[in-house]
Amino acid sequence: MKALIVYESMFGNTEAIAHVVAERLKASFDVTLADVRVMPPVGDADLLIVGAPTHAFSMSRPRTRADAIRHGTTVGAGVPGIGIREYLDYTPWLTGMYAAAFDTRMRKPLLPGSAACKAYRRLHALGCHMVAPPKSFHVVGITEPLIDGEPDQARRWADAITATVLTARRTTPAA
């Protein structure tokens, strides 16, 4: 089976989580890991995972990506041009594909909105079978690293996704 992980990262944290998830999935999937700026085609992937930072309580927009540059992002030139929001806007219907979404965000009580929740809803609307609830991985601050333990959380999340997809594949009759 094939998995495609597409990530958007401003300060390296979302990319770090994407790498952890990719490494964990490699035991069961042929994994392609791609920066969203290359607009990777979904192709014949069985599983699509998208990851993005939460900006202004949602997926990033050109304006919020420009703000990230002002905060000193060092990840990638041309960051304002494309993000997960645009990738999903230009992705064809994904009927029947397994999918999951994650984000990176600050851990603050009562902080509304999440890039993962928005991406989850968009993937579902595109026809995906969602195999995990939206997942947030927490950072210390806007330009700060992941909170201790988040890579371990990412491994457990990837394991749960693998188990769900493999179980679904065994119990779903072939077309």
* The model's pTM: 0.88
pLDDT digits 0-9 by tens, 115-163 = 899 999 999 999 999 999 999 998 988 778 999 999 999 999 999 999 9
Burial of 155 (0-12, 13-18, 19+ CB in 10 A): middle
Rounded to an integer, what distance in angstroms lies between the CA atom of residue 33 and that of residue 54? 20
Whether 145 contacts 13, CB under 8 Å: yes
User: Angle at CA 85, nearest 5°, toward 71 and 158?
Assistant: 90
For residue 172 the two structure tokens come to 């779903």
pLDDT digits 0-9 by tens, 44-67 = 999 999 999 886 566 676 666 666
How far lies 110's CA from each of 106, 107, 113, in Å?
11, 9, 9
Mean pLDDT for the chain overall: 87
Q: Which pLDDT band holds residue 111 (cuts at 50, 70, 90)?
A: low
pLDDT digits 0-9 by tens, 11-29 = 899 999 999 999 999 999 9
Domains with residue ranges and CATH for the chain: 2-171 (3.40.50.360)
Instruction: Count the neighbouring beta carbons within 10 Å of the beta carbon of residue 70.
Output: 7
